[in-house]
Chain A
Amino acid sequence: MQTITRDQLLDKAVSLLADGTVTAVLGWSKGEFDYDVTPAVFKTEAELKENFVWNDFCGANFSKYLVAKMDRLEGKMLVFLKPCDTYSFNQLLTEHRFDREKVYAVGIPCEGMVDIAKVKAICGEGISSVDCGGDKLLVTTLYEEQPVEVATAEVLAERCVNCKSKKHVAYDELLGEEGEVIDSNRFDEVEKLEAMTPDERFAFWQNELSRCIRCNACRDACPACTCEKCVFDNPNSGVENKAPANSFEEKMFHIIRAYHVAGRCTDCGECSRVCPQNIPLHLLNRKFIKDMNEFYGEYQAGAEVGSRAPLVDYTTEDLEPGEVFDRRDTNA
Chain B
Amino acid sequence: MQRVGVFVCWCGSNIAGTVDVQAVSEALKNEPGVVFSTNYQYMCSQAGQNMIIDAVKEHNLTGIVVCSCSPRMHEATFRKTAAAAGLNPYMVEIANIREQCSWVHKDMMTGTEKAIILGKAAVAKVNLNTPLTPGESPVTKRALVIGGGIAGIQTALDIADAGFEVDIVEKKPTIGGKMAQLDKTFPTLDCAACILTPKMVDVAQNEKIRIFSYSEVTDVKGFVGNFDVTIKKNARFVKEDICTGCGACVEKCPMKKVPNEFNLGMDNRSAIYIPFAQAVPKVATIDPNACNMLKNGKCGLCAKVCAAGAIDYTQKDEYIEEKYGAIVVATGFNPISMEKFDEFAYNQSKDVITSLEFERLTNAAGPTAGKLLRPSDHEHPHTIVFVQCVGSRCDSCAEKGKEYCSKICCMYTAKHAMLTRDKYPDTEVYVFYIDVRTPGKNFDEFYRRAVEEYGVKYVKGMVGKVTPEGKKLKVQASDLIANKQLHIDADLVVLAAAIEPDQTARPLATMLTASMDTNDFFTEAHPKLRPVESPTAGVFLSGACQGPKDIPETVSQAGAAASKVIGLLAKDKLTGNPCVASSNELMCNGCSSCERVCPYGAITYVDKEFRMPDRTTKVRRVASVNPAVCQGCGCCTVACPSGAMDLRGFANNQIMAEVDAICK
Partner-B contacts on A (CB < 8 A): 71-72, 94-97, 226-231, 234, 236-239, 260-261, 308-309, 311-313, 316
Complex CA–CA separation, A228 to B653 (angstroms): 19
The answer to whether B597 touches A312, judged by C-beta atoms less than 8 angstroms apart, is yes
Is there a chain A Cβ closer than 8 Å to B234's Cβ?
no
B268 close to A (CB within 8 Å) = no
Contact (A228, B596) CB under 8 Å given A95-B590, A97-B589: no
A96-B591 contact, Cβ under 8 Å, with A237-B643, A238-B653: yes
Most chain A C-beta atoms within 10 Å of own C-beta, residue among B587, B605, B642: B642
Q: What is the CA–CA distance of A237 and B645 in the complex, to the nearest angstrom?
A: 11
Tell me the minimal C-beta distance from A237 to chain B in angstroms: 5
Q: How far, in Å, is A292 (CB) from chain B's closest CB?
A: 15
- Residue among A71, A236, A261, A312 with max Cβ neighbours from chain B (10 Å): A312
Q: What residues of chain B lie closer than 8 Å to A238, measured between beta carbons?
A: 652-653, 656-657
In the complex, chain B residues 582-641 whose Cβ is within 8 Å of any chain A Cβ: 586-593, 596-597, 605, 616, 618, 620-621, 639, 641
Q: Which of B593, B605, B641 contacts A231 (CB 8 A)?
A: B641
Within the complex, the shortest CB–CB distance from A88 to chain B, in Å, comes to: 14
Closest Cβ neighbor of B589 among chain A residues: A228
Query: Can you report 16 residue pairs joining A to B where beta carbons are below 8 Å apart?
Result: A95-B590, A95-B591, A96-B591, A96-B605, A226-B589, A226-B591, A227-B587, A227-B642, A228-B620, A231-B641, A231-B642, A231-B643, A234-B642, A234-B643, A237-B643, A238-B657
**Closest A residue by C-beta to B636:** A312
Task: Flag whether B644 is at the interface (Cβ < 8 A).
Answer: yes
Q: Quick one: which of B593, B605, B639, B653 contacts A236, CB cutoff 8 A?
A: B653
Cβ contact within 8 Å between A96 and B597: no
Q: Which residues of A contact B596 (CB under 8 A)?
A: 308, 312-313
Bound-complex Cα distance A197 to B590 (A):
41
> CB-CB < 8 A to B642: which residues of A?
227-231, 234
> Closest residue of chain B to A230, judged by CB?
B642
Q: Are A227 and B589 within 8 A (Cβ)?
A: yes
Across-interface contacts of A308 in B (CB, < 8 A):
596
**Chain B residue with the shortest CB-CB distance to A311:** B639
Q: How far is the CB of B620 from chain A (nearest CB, A)?
A: 8
B644 touches A228 (CB 8 A): yes
A260 touches B653 (CB 8 A): no
How far apart are the CA atoms of A97 and B621 in the complex, in Å? 9
- Per DSSP, are chain A's interface residues mostly helix, strand or loop, or mixed? loop
When C-beta atoms are compared, the residue in chain A nearest to B617 turns out to be A71
Question: Nearest residue in A to B595 (C-beta to C-beta)?
Answer: A312
Bound complex: CA A238 to CA B643 (Å)? 10
Residues of the A chain whose Cβ atoms lie less than 8 Å from the Cβ of B593: 95, 309, 312
A260 to B639, CA, bound (A): 8
The residues of A that contact B616 with a CB separation of less than 8 Å are 72
* CB contact under 8 A between A228 and B586, given known A96-B621, A312-B597: yes
Closest B residue to A92 using CB positions: B591
Q: How far is the CA of A229 from the CA of B605 in the complex (A)?
A: 18
Are the C-beta atoms of B639 and A234 separated by less than 8 Å? no
What 10 pairs across the A-B complex have the smallest Cβ distances? A227-B642, A260-B641, A238-B656, A95-B591, A312-B596, A229-B587, A231-B643, A228-B589, A237-B643, A228-B587
Residues of the B chain whose Cβ atoms lie less than 8 Å from the Cβ of A309: 593
A312 to B287, CA, bound (A): 44
How far in angstroms is the closest Cβ of chain B from A111? 33
CA distance in complex: A276, B38 (Å): 57
- CB of A237 within 8 A of CB of B590, answer no
The smallest C-beta distance from B652 to any residue of chain A, in angstroms, reads 6
Whole-angstrom distance between the alpha carbons of A313 and B592 in the complex? 13
Enumerate chain B residues within 8 angstroms of A316, measured Cβ to Cβ. Answer: 518
Q: Which of A228, A309, A316 has the most CB of B within 10 A?
A: A228
Q: How far is the CA of A72 from the CA of B593 in the complex (A)?
A: 27
Q: How far is the CA of A308 from the CA of B641 in the complex (A)?
A: 16
Task: Identify the closest chain B residue to A229 (Cβ).
Answer: B587
Which A-chain residue is minimally distant from B590 (CB atoms)?
A96
Q: Would you call B592 and A96 a contact (CB within 8 A)?
A: yes
- Which residues on A sit within 8 Å (CB–CB) of B592? 94-96
B590 touches A234 (CB 8 A): no
What A residues does B586 contact at CB under 8 A?
A: 228-229
Nearest CB in chain B to that of A262: its residue? B641
Is A228 a contact partner of B591 (Cβ separation < 8 A)?
no
Q: Which residues in A have their C-beta under 8 angstroms from that of B618?
A: 71
Q: How far is the CA of A283 from the CA of B589 in the complex (A)?
A: 26
Q: Which residue from chain B places its CB closest to the CB of A72 in the assembled complex?
A: B616
With A229-B586, A229-B587, A316-B518 already in contact, 8 other A-B pairs whose C-beta atoms are closer than 8 Å: A95-B593, A227-B642, A228-B644, A229-B642, A231-B641, A234-B643, A238-B652, A238-B653
**Closest chain A residue, CB of each to CB of B655:** A238
Chain B's closest residue to A71 (CB) is B618
CB-nearest residue of chain A to B586:
A228
List the B residue with the shortest CB-CB distance to A233.
B642
On whether A237 and B652 interact (CB within 8 A), knowing A228-B586, A231-B641, the answer reads yes
Is the Cβ of A234 less than 8 Å from the Cβ of B591?
A: no
A72 to B617, CA, bound (A): 10
Inter-chain CA distance A260–B643, complex, in Å, is: 11
Complex Cα distance, B589 from A226, in Å, reads: 8
Q: How far is the CB of A158 from chain B (nearest CB, A)?
A: 26
| Cα separation A237 to B597 with both chains bound (whole Å) | 21
Question: What residues of B have a CB within 8 angstroms of the CB of A97 in the complex?
Answer: 589-591
* A316-B616 Cα distance, complex, nearest whole Å: 48
> Which B residue sits closest to A236, measured CB to CB?
B653
Chain A residues whose C-beta falls within 8 Å of the C-beta of B621 in the assembled complex? 96
A226 to B593, CA, bound (A): 13
**Bound CA–CA A234/B584 (angstroms):** 12
Report A-chain residues with C-beta under 8 Å of the C-beta of B590: 95-97
Chain B residue at minimal CB-CB distance from A231: B643
CB within 8 Å of A: which of B62-82?
none
Chain B residues closer than 8 Å to A229, beta-carbon distance: 586-587, 642, 644
Q: A72-B616, A237-B652, A312-B596 are in contact. Are A228 and B588 (CB under 8 A)?
A: yes
A261 CA to B657 CA, complexed, in Å: 25
B639 and A312 contacting across the interface, CB-CB below 8 Å: yes
Closest B residue to A308 using CB positions: B596
B662 → A minimal CB distance (Å): 14
Residues on B with C-beta less than 8 A from A236 are: 643, 653
CB contacts (< 8 Å) of B657 on chain A: these are 238
Closest to A224 in B: B641
Q: In whole Å, how far is A309's beta carbon from the nearest beta carbon of chain B? A: 8
Q: How far is the CA of A309 from the CA of B594 in the complex (A)?
A: 12
**List of B residues within 8 angstroms of A71 by Cβ:** 618
CB contacts (< 8 Å) of A313 on chain B: these are 596
Q: B324 to nearest A CB, angstroms?
A: 30
Interchain CB contact under 8 A, B656 and A234: no
Residues of A within 8 A of B518 (CB): 316
Q: In whole Å, how far is B513's beta carbon from the nearest beta carbon of chain A?
A: 15
Shortest distance between the CB of B146 and any CB in chain A (Å):
26
Residues of B485-502 contacting chain A, CB below 8 A:
none
Which residues of B have CB within 8 Å of A234? 587, 642-643
Nearest chain A residue, comparing its CB with the CB of B596: A312
CA separation between A275 and B586, bound complex, in Å? Answer: 29
In whole angstroms, how far apart are the Cα atoms of A21 and B587 in the complex? 33
**Interfacial chain A residues near B591, Cβ < 8 Å:** 95-97, 226
Known contacts A72-B616, A238-B656: A227-B641 contact under CB 8 Å: yes
Which residue on chain B has the smallest CB distance to residue A312? Answer: B596
Distance in angstroms between the alpha carbons of A238 and B656 in the assembled complex: 7
* B395, chain A: closest CB distance, angstroms: 14
A residues within 8 A CB of B597? 312
Closest to B610 in A: A228
Q: How far is the CA of A311 from the CA of B641 in the complex (A)?
A: 12
A312 to chain B, nearest CB (A): 4
* Bound complex: CA A94 to CA B593 (Å): 10
B residues 272-293 touching A (CB-CB < 8 Å): none
Q: How far is the CB of B547 from chain A (nearest CB, A)?
A: 16
With A and B bound together, what is the CA distance between A316 and B515 in angstroms? 13
Closest to B641 in A: A260
From B587, B590, B618, B644, residue with most partner A Cβ within 10 Å: B587
A316 closest partner in B (C-beta): B518
